[in-house]
Amino acid sequence: MQEKIKSEGKCPFCGKTFAKAGINRHLITHLKEKEASGKPGKSFLVKVETNKRWGYSPYFLSLWIDCGASMKDLDTFLRKIWLECCGHMSAFRKREKRSGRDEIFDMMDEYLGRGNIVKYEKMMEEIDDTVPMSRKVKDILYKDLILEYEYDFGSSTELSITVMGEYSVKADKKIVLLSRNEPLDIMCNSCKKVPATQICTACIYEKEAEFCDKCAKKHAKKCEDFEDYASLPVVNSPRMGVCGYTGGTIDMERDRVSV
């Protein structure tokens, strides 16, 4: 994928379009208004994007989450809109850097070397920063918290989840999709004239891997893998082209490129 591909999202309240960098700041103004007029309660504005460790990514979700939702509800939502291919494992983790972590790992190695499994497992438990799925978001989330999320511990998709704000109003439902990046301008790598609809996962590190339907037919003649198994649809998700991912099951009108 090209660097710095344009990423914009729509505001569901006023219909205006904003760049990825500005949409959440804008949504905050609406949620503050809601605090004055909506049902009293507690809710969060949460930004979801690809873990920055992997560089710039145009994908984002802006979610309005009610305090009654659980971490499992958020996990399910992320799977449905962006991730689910074949029921892989997933986890939320707290990001806090603990001092002395390397030393702890060294000690654990030592215990393992000496065959002291009990001690090893006890330390393993102590450093585990996984957030249980059963927890309510109200017990986990607070403003400025950043959580890491991983789907599929093999060909993993890593996300980062930032709590942008906390509001004294009930959200309209457990998880409301306020905004997401509109379908990206991913052009056919071959003819460069029309949007790509298919990706060849065998050629993903080559110059040409994303094709329009017409050029995909030509590619299938050259690339046996593409013909056999390596063809996946271009979809609006950071999991595009990974494992067997073929798209989400909610908000599907914004999942595919409109050709």
242 binds Zn ion (CB under 5 A): no
36 burial (CB, 10 Å; 0-12 / 13-18 / 19+) is exposed
- Distance from C-alpha of 147 to C-alpha of 166, rounded to nearest angstrom: 16
Q: Minimum distance between the CB of residue 102 and Zn ion, rounded to whole angstroms?
A: 32
18 binds Zn ion (CB under 5 A): no
62 binds Zn ion (CB under 5 A): no
Tell me, rounded to whole angstroms, the distance of Cα 42 from its chain centroid. 24
Q: Minimum distance between the CB of residue 135 and Zn ion, rounded to whole angstroms?
A: 26
Q: Minimum distance between the CB of residue 242 and Zn ion, rounded to whole angstroms?
A: 8
Q: Minimum distance between the CB of residue 61 and Zn ion, rounded to whole angstroms?
A: 17
14 binds Zn ion (CB under 5 A): yes
- Binding track, positions 109-138, relative to Zn ion; x by CB under 5 A: ------------------------------
86 binds Zn ion (CB under 5 A): yes
Report the 10 Å Cβ neighbour count for 153: 10
In the block, which residue shows the tokens 């449905």?
A: 80
161 binds Zn ion (CB under 5 A): no
219 closest CA partner among 235, 236, 197: 197
Beta carbon nearer to Zn ion, 161 or 212: 212
Spell 66-87 as b/e; 16+ CB within 10 A means b. bbbbbbebbbbbbbebbbbbee
- Report the relative pairing of strands 146-151 and 210-211 from DSSP bridges: unpaired
Q: Among 5, 11, 104, 107, indicate the residue that binds Zn ion (CB under 5 A).
A: 11
- Distance from C-alpha of 38 to C-alpha of 134, rounded to nearest angstrom: 27
For residue 33 the two structure tokens come to 């208004």
Angle between helices 101-113 and 117-127 (to 10 degrees): 160
74 binds Zn ion (CB under 5 A): no
List C-alpha distances in Å: 24 to 8, 39, 174.
11, 22, 19
Q: Among 63, 85, 141, 169, indicate the residue that binds Zn ion (CB under 5 A).
A: 85
Q: Minimum distance between the CB of residue 190 and Zn ion, rounded to whole angstroms?
A: 5
- Binding track, positions 177-216, relative to Zn ion; x by CB under 5 A: -----------x-xx--------x-xx--------x--x-
- Give the interface segment with Zn ion, choosing from 12-20, 58-66, 118-126, 172-180 (CB under 5 A): 12-20
- Report the relative pairing of strands 130-131 and 90-94 from DSSP bridges: antiparallel
In the block, which residue shows the tokens 């309209």?
A: 172
257 binds Zn ion (CB under 5 A): no
Q: Which residues form the interface with Zn ion (CB under 5 A)?
A: 11, 13-14, 85-86, 188, 190-191, 200, 202-203, 212, 215, 223, 226, 243
